[in-house]
Structure formats: structure tokens, C-alpha cells
Structure 1
Amino acid sequence: MSNTDLQSDLKSLVPLFKPESIAIIGASSNPAKPSGQPLVALTQCGFKGHVYPVNPNYRTLLGLHCYPSLTDIPGPVDLCIIAVPARMTLTALEECAAKGVRGVIIFTSGFAEVGNEGAIIQQQMTALARKTGMRICGPNCMGIFSAQNALMANFAVTELPDKVLVPDYLGFISQSGGFGVAIYEMIKEKGYGFSHFVSTGNEANLEFSHYLGYMAADNKTRVIGGYLEGLKDGQKFLQAADMALANNKPVMLMKAGRYPASAKAAASHTGALVGSEKVYSAVFKQKGIIRIDNLEEFLNMLSIMHSGKIPCGKRIAILATSGGSGVMLADKCAHYGLDVVPLQEETRLALAALLPDFASTANPVDITSAIITQPGLLEQCAQIVIKDPGVDMMIVAYWTEFGNRSILNQMIRVEQSTNKPVFNLIWGPEKAAQEAMHYMNNNLIPAGREVDFIIKSMATLAEYHIFVQSRKETTMLGPEIPINAREKAAVLLNNLGPGTRLSEHTAKQVLRAYGIPTTREQLATTMEEALAAAETIGYPVVMKIESPDILHKTDAGGVLLNIRTPEEVTTGLHQLLNNARVYKADADIKGVLVQQMLPDNGIEMIVGISKDSTFGSTVLVGLGGIFVEALEDVALRVAPVSPLDAQEMLSELKGQRVLDGLRGRLPADKQALLDIIQRLSRLAVDFPQIAELDINPLIVFPKGEGACAADALIAME
């Protein structure tokens, strides 16, 4: 599905967020019940549309005519809330379909989350929605809140917030009802207004990604947050994330399940290195999703972003009222990847003119306790530092006393006078610090007490800005793929059964079709062919057993290096065949592969393709050789991989210094490596039926000398 198709698909969500009429099946007037809360809230909070309670046990509810059934309602119904027992839910949903209701929210639980019987009923819901085009939120959800039209189609958000300092700010999606509501309440207390809040429930029809796409397209939503446990359709999520990126809307997600039990290792190195968590992390990096580990970070980032003052770089200035705290903050900044840069000479001279002799004008700036005896000193110094053209953001640490707002007001004026983010680190007795943070929050000034959360939040936002700008500014083009690559590879890959494994020789033919260099080689089935191949290729040569049933040839004694004479070819052939039979007696032996012996001046890398059940084909790169699984120094992205994605993959490797040249070695040909990553990406897109592909090792030679696939395997889905 293209982005255009997704946007068209999202139009069907309008009845859930902007209904003109709402029916509540199973309605009651008891605000303590899920069936009563939306009726009470909708009538009391100013919803402008029609509200139709449906319950055969009542004639009226809260002064509204109560209908015995949905079909008795005379006019159209845009949205229906179902709040009846599980045994009655499917019948109610069928009534909605008969009535022509376009959106349904099902509060009721007792479906896929409880066992097979419930799962079968939920599958029937999904089928009914697919057949009719009706959209379902839930079941087993808390519903939807939308501030734009006082839509209280839920049983958790039952009243409009008293304090909204930043209206129409945050859209939030949660796959946990209770946890999501707890997050809602804490964010609401800060005064950050919600555009929408959605509890997704079991996602029988509408999924997390639908709501993400809707909010990405919604002009009232500025920032999107969410609690995510897992996705059903990774491609839909990728499209929604692209929409958010295109519309300049940061997406901040808490992703649960960072440490699931390890899945069974796949046959290839690539498969063994790729797990669900690694793929999610890669997707977040690839699409600019901000991953948040806790609510404190989330709140800090919201406090910075509401004014649009996202740091445009990683250069930070520190102002502190003691030298020790400044040094500690500098250490923390370095830990989280921020640059505590030297201040310009002009800045330091201006500071020196104000500060006492025992202060420090270096970064971090120690302004000492003179701010107590010199009113206005903190503001003056902060204004000087934040104007330094080499500074992207600033953190100011100071002590506050209960009821003393003079210093706080100085920092409010500083923040209001600049377009750079300024975060206040407030220390002091508990009561005084809490009062100060509350005061700053009510003036929309970023402030907090927890050093790590504050600095990590600023670093994360700086990285986000750099990511967004890189996508806007890049003009890099990928390598030109041979015009008939797909056709050549199709001859070898199409019509293969599930689980089919290609031998090295055949796998390399696929690689060569896409312009990926491989070793020169010949397959020999007889001694004469092996001797002739060695003569043609030129000594020394490598000899390998060729069998789709022996994937890791080194483990089977199936590789011989540096074969220099015809006699060694003869001996080697017998040795390889004997080793293979001992290792796997029933292996399908295709022969012996005789190939060129590559020079030893290259770096062994691994590149490959793996298949993720959620997101589809992924492309991986890392340091290769026999230690690849032990080191696990790899980076991956979901196909297709852009030139910029490929560059970022290399920058993530801990061993990237090896590629840059280490201990006298020449720098590696990184452009050749980047080229191969993108060629593999194109292969993965063209043939999604590839379950695993390994090039290990890929020998990357010194800069300008290219790279060569020394070994390869392909397994089909």
C-alpha cells in the first residue's frame, strides 16, 4: 500500500474522531460504569452532536430518549459505542452493520485476550468489518477522547481538563488502557493539551498504525506519543511514520518488550543476529521515531518541543552556581553525546566583565553564588552565553529558596528572548524545588530536578533535529542496478519451494546479477574439472565443498585455503569429499568449488538479508568472519535502504574505526561497501521470498580497490 492509499484509508476513521451522532448500546446513567460514563460525559462536556442511548430497560436516560434497539433510532448514526456483555457483542455489531454505522468502539472484553473461544468471535468481528467497511476500535479498549469536539467516547477521560497551557498539542495512542490513562493524567497535570487520546484494545480491525497515520495527517495534532507493545502490519506502520516525518510531526514512543526471550537461531549468521527488538530499534532509527524509556524523559521533551525550540545541534553550554556541579553536568553531557564546546572569546570577555575574579568563564561557566548578592546577574550571564553563535542549547543549574521567584523570573525572561532551548536544573529543599518547578511549568519554561533525564532528553531532541535535517538536505543517489538484474535472478529464485537453500555457487550468480562482485570460480564434479579450474583461475586457489545441505563449510572441514599445486588439488578434493560425508552422510554434494584466493589486505565484513515477521525484509551489515555472532557488532535497516540509511548503518558499528584505518592499515573502500548494501536492499525488495541471505565474509579492500563476496548462501521462505 502506498502512502496515498494509506491516506485514503484514513478517511474512514473520521466517524470515530468527528462523529455528528453517537449511539451507546447498553447505555446507563451510572457514571461509575463503563456503559454510563460516556453518556454522562458527552451530555455534560459540550459534545455538539446527537447522542442516542440504547437500552430496552429504559425509556429515558439523563433526559434523553432511550431507544430499545439501534434500528429504532430514526436518523443516521456515525459512531456507536458497544458496552454490553461479551455474549451480546457480536449481535450488537451486526446491528451496527445493518444500520450503516461507519465507526464502532467496543468497550467489552472477553475475546482474543482470554482464549480460543473469544479469539474466534473476534475473528468474526474482523471479518464483518472487512466485509462492510465499518471501522472498529477495540474490543477490550477504553475508547477515544478528542478535545476538538469534546468527544468523550471512552470510559476513562470523563471531563475536560481544567488547565490547558498548550492546546491541541499531543495525540496519544496506547495499547494498554490502564497504563495509557495513567500517562494521560500525568501529562494533563502539566497543562499539555491533548488533541486525541486512543486506547486501541485488541485491534480486531483498526491498528496502532491507523491512529498514528490519522494523527500524522491531523492539522490539530503537533506531536504524537504512544505506548506500543507490538504491531500486526509493519508496512502500515512504516507508511504512517513516513507521513509524520513528511508533516514535521515528532513521534515519541514507549516500546515494551525490549528483552524478550531469544527466538530460535536461524540457519544463517544473519538470521541468528536479527531479532524482533533489533528490528524495532532499526525501524525507529530509520524513520526518526524518538524512543522514550520513561515518562520523565517524555515530559521533559514535551516541555521543550511545545515552543518549537528543538536544539539544532549538539553544542551545549552549561551555567552553574558551583564549579563542581558544572563539571558533573559536563560529564553527563559527554556521556549522552552532547558537545560541551569552548565559548567564543567575545562571550568569555563579556562574562569576565560581570563575574568576580574567582568565577570561571570557560564552559561550563561557574557563575558562583554571586547571583545572590548581585540581582540580575544570572539573567545577564545567561543572555550572553545563549547568544554565543557556537552554542545550540543551554542548561542552567541553580539553587532556589521557598518563595523566592526573583531568579526564576530572570530565567523566564531569558527563555522568552531566545529561539534556542534553555533547560532549568533546579536544586533546593523539596518543597522549594517543587514550588519552583510548578511555577516554571505554569509559565511554560522547561525545568526539572533529574540530571540524567534532562540531559538525555536534550540529546535525543538534538539527534532528532539532525535526522530530520539530513533527510531534507540529502541528494545522494544509490548505485545503478543492472537493467536485467531482476530477470536474471528470477530464473534462479522463482518457483523454489519453502525452505529451499541455494548452494554458494548458485547464490553468487544471484549476487552477480545485481552487480555485487564475487570471487572468480568454477564448479568441479570430477578431478579433471578441478585441475582445469585451478589452472584457469590461477594458483593459489581455494577449494570448498559445494552443498546446499552444508551451510557452514568451515565447521564441516569443507574449506581448504592456499592450494598451490595440482598435487594439492588432487589431495584436497578427496579430503573435502571425505570430510563432508563424515559431517553429514546424506548431504547433497554438488561437487567442489574452485575459486580465486583473495589477497589478505582486506577487512572481513558480513552483509545479508533476513526476513522479519512484522516488517518484512531487513538488510544487515557488520564485522564478519568467524566471530560475527560472538561480537554481534551489526547494524540493520528495513528494505528499501536509502544511501543515507546505509551510511548511518556503518556509523553505528563499534568497529567502524577498523574501516577508517587502524594501526597503520589503509582506510577501507567504504563506498564499495555502501554500494553493496544498497544492491542487497534492491534484491530484497525485488524478491521478498528470500528468507535469509549471507555474504560472509565480504572482503572490503583498501579505498578505491572495491569489495568482493568470498562466500554466500541463500535460503528461501
Structure 2
Amino acid sequence: MTGSPGPRDEGRSALQTMLEARSVAIVGASVREGSVGNQSLVELLEGGFVGDVYPVNPKYHEILGLRCYPAVGDIGRPMDLAILAVGNPLLEEQLRSVAEAGARSAVIFASCYEAPRDDTPPLADRLAAIARGAGMAVCGGNCMGFANLEKGLRALGFYEPKGLRPGPVAFVSHSGSAFSALLHNDRAISFNVAVSSGLELGATVGEYIGYALSLESTRVIGLFLESIRDPAGFVEALRATNDRDVPVVALKVGKETLTRRMVTAHSGALAGEDGAYEALFEAHGVLRVQSLDEMADTLALFGSGRRAGPGGLASVHDSGGERALLVDSAAAVGVPLASISEGTTRRLTELLEPGLLPVNPLDFWGTGRDAHEVVTGCMRALLEDTDAAALAFSVDLTTEDQPDEGYIRMAEEVFPVTEKPFAMLSNFASGIDRADATRLEDAGIPVLEGTLTGLGAFRHLFDYRDHRSLPAIEGTTPIPLQVREHWQERLSMADPLYEAEGLSLLSDFGIPVVTVSLVGSLDDAIAAAERLGFPVALKTADRAVQHKSDVGAVRLGLEDRTSLADAYGELSASLGSAVTVAAMAPPGVEIHLGIVRDEQFGPLVLVAAGGVLVEVLSDRR
């Protein structure tokens, strides 16, 4: 494995060179079993890597049958990837050494932490600077490494399962444990590339997404996110997934204040305001999951490559109780159920035993007579209904005495005759017979391992369909110079806006607003009301009052001069003489519309229920 290398492919980016490395140096390679230096070499060799491997450690002449070099400079040739299996104290020296030796990329497992020192940048920043200066891609630090299963490349420092088969799922995780957990799945969720990105010292999540999109095999991308360090690059990557029609499934932590503090302490990154991520995900059709189990079911369903058409979910069951469980759970999760036609109802009636209702969801089990014909016929009838977008074969996949004659065979028979999404849905994960599940998965049939997580996967399937059907967002109209200057002038002032000023700013963009007059006496208020026409609204203009209804500073529907005078007297007595008089708007729905500036993603539009409940409902979008 240490023959003469071919010419370096300078046409490849540093990231592609890292993820498709043909030559790898392992700095800190070791003979000690269980050490990172030894396991890195074992993972590389046992994973089927066929490129050049250069162990580096001055303590040894040979490791696992390979020549071991005293220092990376002694190799005498550049390498695509350097795996740094060394601790924090040696990182800076060794990264600089591999950069000088011509390495185009590196993997750093260590945490990159050192005690703060005055006038010295943090170790992670110094490492990132070395990588930038050398044009290197870096996976990590504080990571588990990566595996490119299409290339037989396992740049891993810790034990991961052997015999992993390449598949249609790309996975990028900030969490090393989540990365390892997904690799250890005992189901047919197979990856083309899986990356534990860690601190992202020299490659970002957005860049890994870009690489995944370059692979023809990628059907779905999974993300475990703590933060986004390159927001602009991440947004651009999400746009690219939309262009390629590749769904993204994300588990984003950091909803709670405590979680965000933990993320920052753990990785040094901003976890970000969760509302900003919700808006970003919704805008780009990112499917947000709440657990690794839900992620696994969703990746399995999308990994089959089938997409939902119009309609809702059809399902078949061998239990009335579990059918009821699905109906309740579908309502809780937000999964629409298919409304089957009269024609489908007649077909089901002809198939079912007397007493079984021809409805969706369907309980097909009676006495078990002619079960194969009944069950397969019912599934075909439902799948051929125009309102059935997908089908769940909801049985618990406990061990079958004769799988060639039971549910397994039925699923294998029906799955190939439809192009609609079709999945087995078990209500109890630990009861699943693994041999039967593997047989189904080998036939391309997804096996979903839980009522709520499996239905969540179907909801994401329908959500993605609905997102793809939305019209394209039209480009924004250029803002006239005078409007921009008007806004800049007013917003540069520190004092809060009068209501009339805010309405004037909105009208600059053609937003319909009510006419408002700012006055300081009863006579002026009456004159303004007569100009506008009764009925009118009266509000305090005290700048210190931000929530007028909370202090009784709003009077609506004043029909005449007398009611206006009474209202003015009450407001002026407690809040001063300055008030606004406005024409009453016609009846309608109140909304709260605002702009917030997120520290990661910049300006965002906020929409919520308006009126007096704006602070109570917390329904902002």
C-alpha cells in the first residue's frame, strides 16, 4: 500500500480530496490496541481502502505490516489526507507539519481545547488559521471522523461497524455520538457518505451538503445540528438541495435557553434563536425531526426513493385496536388519511369477510380464511385509489412461522406493482423480527419502527410534497432611494416611533394603513375626527407606553363628539394631552407583523396573531 502515487489531481477541491482521499498519513499511529492511533489504522485497512497508507510515529519501524515513518516530512511525497491521532498539546505542531508536507486535508479527533492564555488566540482558531493558509480542508476537531462508503474510505478514530454497505443516505452530524448511533443502526439505512463534522475548523455543514449533492446516489440528506457556523453558505446549500430535489431531514437542538448555553459551552458556537431556524427550515422545505428514532424512520422512507402524490395515507391492519391507535396518532402527528372512493369501497367489500368495514384505515382480519388473497387484494385496491398517496402495512413484524406465506410474502408481492410510497409500520420496535425486517429491506421495502416515529416519517413525506408544489417566490422589487433614505433617517434615531410615524413608514411600501392624526388638545381631536369621519379610534401618544391596551389607553368605535370628548378626558387625565385620532378600520383579522434581526441569519419577518393576545398566544412564525 505504499507504492508510487500517481499525479495529484489538482482539479479536485480540498474537500473532495479529503472525502475521496487516495493516500492517507496517520500521524500518531500506534501498535497499542484500542488507542486512537491504532484504531484509525485498523478502520482504514479493514474498511477496504486501496490507496497508499503512511503510518507516522518515531517509536516504531512497522505497524500492522506497514512501514512506519519517524515524521510526516520523511514520507517524501504529498498525501491527500492526514489523520491526526494526537492529543491537544501536539495538534498545532503536527497540523503545521502535515501542511508543510503537502497534505491537502486533515482529520482532527482531539477536542482542540487548552486553558486560555493572555494575548493568545484559542487553539481552535490557530488551527483554523493554519488550515486556511494552506488551503486545507479539515474534518473536526472534536469529531469521530468520516466514512465514504462508496470509496471504501473510513477515516475514523473509533470502532464503527464493519461491513457497512453504501446506500442513498448522506449524513452530517455535529454530535459524534449521534453519528456513531446512526452508523450502528441494525436496519437498512445505508450511507454513501457520513461525516462527524465537529468544530468545522476547515469544512462546514454547507460544504458537506454540497459534496453530498455531487453524488448521484444521494436521495436524502440527514443533519444533526447544534449550530450553523456559516449561515450564508448553509442557506446556499439548502437552495441547492431544492434545485436538485433532494430532501433534507434535520434534528436541530437548542430550543431551550439551557440547551443553547450547553451547546455554546460544548462547541463554542452560537446555537441560535430557534424561531430563526424554524423560519429557515420552512422556507427551504427542511424536514425537522425531534428524535434520532424519527430521523431513522424518515431517512428510511425517503431512502426508498418514492415520493407522495396527491391525497393522504392509506393503511391496513390485522388489529382493530392498533388501527384505532393509528387513527389517534395520525391526528396527533398531523398525517392526513385518504378518503377512499365508492369504487374502492365496493372492491374492499367484495374481498372482506362479512362484518368487516370497508373503510380506511382498514382492519382486514376476520377468521384468516384466504388471508393472502384478502390482504394483497385490499392493499392493491387502496393503492389504486386516487386519494391514497401512500400505504402503511401496519403489522408488528413479530416472528412468523412461515414468512413465505405470511405478511412478508404479501408485502414482497404488492410492493413492486405500485410506484407509490409503501412501508411496513410496526407499533413496537423491540418486537420486530430482525431477519424478517432485513428480508423486507433487502427487497427495498422500508420498515418503520414505531407508531409515532413512523407516522412522523409519513407526515414529512407529505410535507415535502406540499413544499415542492408551492409557487416559486418572486424576486423582490428594488427599494426606491427616497424610501430607503426615509427609513434610514428615522430608524437611526434612538427614540421609539409614534404610531403615526410607523404607519407612515409602512405606507412607503404601499401597505394600506389607516389615516392617523397626532393632536394635543380636545379641540384638535374633534377637528381631526370630523375630517376623518366618525367612528374613530383614540389612543394615547405617550412614547413611554408600548402596550397601550395594557393600561387602558385605547378607545375604539367613538361615534360622535360627545363620546370622543369623554374618552379624551379619561386618557388625558392619566396619560397626558397627546393622543392619536384614527379612522376605524373595517372588520377583519388582526395580525402582528414585525422585523427581527437574528444574530446568525440577519433580518427576519415575524408574523403572529395580533391584538391584545399578541403576548399571550406565542404563535409567531
TM-score by length of 1: 0.74
Cα deviation digits, residues 479-518 of structure 1 (max 9, x gap): x85x654532323415965966444333333212111222
Is residue 84 of structure 1 aligned with residue 81 of structure 2? no
Deviation at 1:629, TM superposition (A): 0.9
1:640 aligns to what?
none
Q: Distance in 1 between matches of 2:75 and 2:440?
A: 51
Closer/same/farther in 2, CA of residues 475 and 211 from structure 1, 3 Å limit: closer
Select the residue among 350, 357, 360 that pairs with 1:363: 360
Deviation at 1:352, TM superposition (A): 3.3
Q: Distance in 1 between matches of 2:245 and 2:13?
A: 20
Residue identity matched to 2:360: N
Q: Secondary structure at the match of 1:389?
A: coil
Q: Distance in 2 between matches of 1:430 and 1:220?
A: 31
Select the residue among 333, 338, 344 that pairs with 1:336: 333
Is residue 125 of structure 1 aligned with residue 163 of structure 2? no
Select the residue among 606, 614, 632 that pairs with 2:618: 632
Q: Distance in 2 between matches of 1:428 and 1:535?
A: 71
Deviation at 1:612, TM superposition (A): 1.5
Q: Distance in 2 between matches of 1:352 and 1:161?
A: 47
1:651 aligns to what?
none
Cα deviation digits, residues 631-681 of structure 1 (max 9, x gap): 2233x2xxxxxxxxxxxxxxxxxxxxxxxxxxxxxxxxxxxxxxxxxxxxx
2:269 aligns to what?
none
Q: Distance in 2 between matches of 1:348 and 1:559?
A: 58
1:507 aligns to what?
502
Q: Distance in 2 between matches of 1:227 and 1:23?
A: 29
Structure 1 segment 165-180 matched on structure 2, within 5 A: 167-180=166-179
Closer/same/farther in 2, CA of residues 202 and 347 from structure 1, 3 Å limit: same
Closer/same/farther in 2, CA of residues 77 and 600 from structure 1, 3 Å limit: same
1:622 aligns to what?
608
8 Å Cα contact 2:171-2:194 kept in structure 1: yes
2:597 aligns to what?
611
Closer/same/farther in 2, CA of residues 105 and 321 from structure 1, 3 Å limit: closer
Closer/same/farther in 2, CA of residues 547 and 103 from structure 1, 3 Å limit: farther
Q: Distance in 2 between matches of 1:107 and 1:73?
A: 22
Structure 1 segment 31-50 matched on structure 2, within 5 A: 31-50=33-52
Closer/same/farther in 2, CA of residues 25 and 430 from structure 1, 3 Å limit: closer
Closer/same/farther in 2, CA of residues 10 and 369 from structure 1, 3 Å limit: farther
Deviation at 1:109, TM superposition (A): 1.8
Residue identity matched to 2:45: T
Q: Distance in 2 between matches of 1:613 and 1:252?
A: 24
Select the residue among 480, 486, 489 that pairs with 2:484: 489
Structure 1 segment 681-700 matched on structure 2, within 5 A: none
Deviation at 1:171, TM superposition (A): 1.2
Select the residue among 294, 297, 300 that pairs with 1:297: 294
Deviation at 1:227, TM superposition (A): 1.4
2:4 aligns to what?
none
Deviation at 1:394, TM superposition (A): 2.0
Is residue 194 of structure 1 aligned with residue 191 of structure 2? yes
Closer/same/farther in 2, CA of residues 210 and 157 from structure 1, 3 Å limit: farther
Select the residue among 97, 100, 103 that pairs with 1:98: 100
1:437 aligns to what?
437
8 Å Cα contact 1:415-1:422 kept in structure 2: yes
1:284 aligns to what?
281
Residue identity matched to 1:169: P
Could you tell me which runs of 5 or more consecutive residues in structure 2 were left unpaired when the two chains were aligned: 1-10, 262-271
1:6 aligns to what?
none
Alignment RMSD, CA only? 3.7
Is residue 520 of structure 1 aligned with residue 518 of structure 2? no
Closer/same/farther in 2, CA of residues 347 and 69 from structure 1, 3 Å limit: same
Q: Percent identity?
A: 27
2:456 aligns to what?
456
Q: Distance in 2 between matches of 1:391 and 1:72?
A: 65
Q: Secondary structure at the match of 2:229?
A: coil
Q: Distance in 2 between matches of 1:543 and 1:382?
A: 64
Deviation at 1:202, TM superposition (A): 2.1
Closer/same/farther in 2, CA of residues 562 and 413 from structure 1, 3 Å limit: closer
Q: Which has the higher mean CA deviation after the structures are superposed, 422-431 or 34-43? A: 422-431
Q: Distance in 1 between matches of 2:231 and 2:301?
A: 30
Deviation at 1:413, TM superposition (A): 0.9
Q: Distance in 2 between matches of 1:10 and 1:596?
A: 65
Q: Distance in 2 between matches of 1:155 and 1:506?
A: 61
Residue identity matched to 2:129: A
Q: Secondary structure at the match of 1:192?
A: coil
Q: Distance in 2 between matches of 1:625 and 1:456?
A: 34
Structure 1 segment 399-418 matched on structure 2, within 5 A: 402-405=400-403, 406-407=405-406, 408-418=408-418
Q: Which has the higher mean CA deviation after the structures are superposed, 523-532 or 95-104? A: 523-532
Deviation at 1:374, TM superposition (A): 4.9
8 Å Cα contact 2:372-2:410 kept in structure 1: no
Cα deviation digits, residues 596-630 of structure 1 (max 9, x gap): 23145233221111122222221122221121111
Q: Distance in 2 between matches of 1:155 and 1:10?
A: 25
Q: Distance in 2 between matches of 1:397 and 1:74?
A: 60
Q: Distance in 2 between matches of 1:386 and 1:560?
A: 59
8 Å Cα contact 1:541-1:561 kept in structure 2: yes
2:267 aligns to what?
none
Residue identity matched to 1:236: G
Q: Distance in 1 between matches of 2:344 and 2:420?
A: 16
Closer/same/farther in 2, CA of residues 180 and 235 from structure 1, 3 Å limit: same
Q: Distance in 1 between matches of 2:387 and 2:309?
A: 11
Q: Secondary structure at the match of 2:58?
A: coil
Is residue 424 of structure 1 aligned with residue 410 of structure 2? no
Closer/same/farther in 2, CA of residues 555 and 485 from structure 1, 3 Å limit: farther
Structure 1 segment 134-153 matched on structure 2, within 5 A: 134-153=136-155
State how many pairs are aligned: 597
Q: Distance in 2 between matches of 1:565 and 1:107?
A: 76
Q: Distance in 2 between matches of 1:148 and 1:449?
A: 27
8 Å Cα contact 2:532-2:583 kept in structure 1: no
Select the residue among 560, 577, 584 that pairs with 1:598: 584
Deviation at 1:280, TM superposition (A): 1.9
8 Å Cα contact 2:540-2:580 kept in structure 1: no
Q: Distance in 2 between matches of 1:380 and 1:569?
A: 74
Q: Secondary structure at the match of 1:396?
A: strand
2:16 aligns to what?
14
Q: Distance in 2 between matches of 1:15 and 1:101?
A: 10
1:682 aligns to what?
none
Is residue 185 of structure 1 aligned with residue 184 of structure 2? yes
Residue identity matched to 1:245: N
Residue identity matched to 1:202: L
8 Å Cα contact 1:150-1:160 kept in structure 2: no
Q: Which has the higher mean CA deviation after the structures are superposed, 300-309 or 517-526? A: 517-526
Is residue 393 of structure 1 aligned with residue 393 of structure 2? no
Closer/same/farther in 2, CA of residues 349 and 502 from structure 1, 3 Å limit: closer
Residue identity matched to 1:87: P
Deviation at 1:146, TM superposition (A): 0.9
Cα deviation digits, residues 31-72 of structure 1 (max 9, x gap): 411122222332343323322222233333334333333333
